[in-house]
Amino acid sequence: MAQNIYDNPDFFAGYSQLPRQVEGLDGAPEWPAIRALLPELTGRRLADLGCGFGWATRWFRDQGASSVLGLDLSQNMIERARTDTEDAGIEYRIADLETLELPEAAFDLVYSALTFHYVRDFERLIRMIHAALAPGGDLVFTIEHPIFMAAAHPRWTLDEDGRKTWPVNGYSIEGERRTDWFAKGVLKHHRTLATTINTLIGAGFELHWMEEFAPMPEQIAEIPELSEELERPMMLLVSAQKR
């Protein structure tokens, strides 16, 4: 079973105060870039893996999705999502992506935001998602970028000119990474970018697009702290289609 850090009280208290949790989708600077990757949603059957409070889950329905299944490991998140949602077209369920099985060819789009880097067995998950998609179905997901995750001490340093610089080491050595983020020892699984993409291709997906998220100039004008995101990508966005 994946580490259930989101039900750790300290973690949950801190995490719940993030702008993206308080303000919803518009609190996430990468949201416009994600929207650009999404296919037409009207009448489509969706699964949202790692749905959290259900911000995207509800948005999908607003865009005309016929049904959305929202799954999350965290009981805290699912309870809050259920409280915030009144919609017979949405079902929330507690589920562990390490062992999740979905019915075959039952979905037109599988979506996941910042969740897959918590999953140890990525290949199993991707093959299961491929089987759960109808032919021509889409997979759109975001993860922490491996440049952001790889190093033993992933935090800003300064180069000899005083420029914000991100350290990379251990990039080719895949496996567990533990960081302190609202709680000690949050467990993530580092994979190279090539492994992520080749796993999709090997499972029968065709890669449609990828983004190494960088803020737009107008986003930096509004939130100057975002400019540091130009120095190294924190997130990888991927769109792929079942062949």
165 lies in the site for its own copies, by CB under 8 A: yes
- Candidates 24-32, 37-45, 120-128, 164-172; binding stretch for its own copies (CB under 8 A): 164-172
82 Cβ partners below 8 Å, 6+ apart?
A: 92
The nearest distance, CB 113 to its own copies, in angstroms, is 18
Distance of CA 7 to the CA centre of its chain: 18
Of 7, 10, 96, 231, which one interacts with its own copies (CB under 8 A)?
231
- Candidates 52-60, 87-95, 133-141, 203-211; binding stretch for its own copies (CB under 8 A): 203-211
161 lies in the site for its own copies, by CB under 8 A: yes
Of 13, 35, 87, 164, which one interacts with its own copies (CB under 8 A)?
164
CA distance 137 to 130: 9
Burial of 89 (0-12, 13-18, 19+ CB in 10 A): middle
179 lies in the site for its own copies, by CB under 8 A: no
Closer residue to its own copies, CB minimum distance, 131 or 210: 210
Of 105, 157, 184, 185, which one interacts with its own copies (CB under 8 A)?
157
Which tokens is 131 given? 């089987």
For 62: left if phi > 0, alpha if psi spans -120 to 50, otherwise beta; the answer is alpha
Neighbours of 221 (CB within 10 A): 11
- Helix (H) or strand (E) run with residue 209 in it: strand 205-212
Closer residue to its own copies, CB minimum distance, 84 or 228: 228
10 lies in the site for its own copies, by CB under 8 A: no
- Candidates 5-13, 58-66, 72-80, 144-152; binding stretch for its own copies (CB under 8 A): 144-152
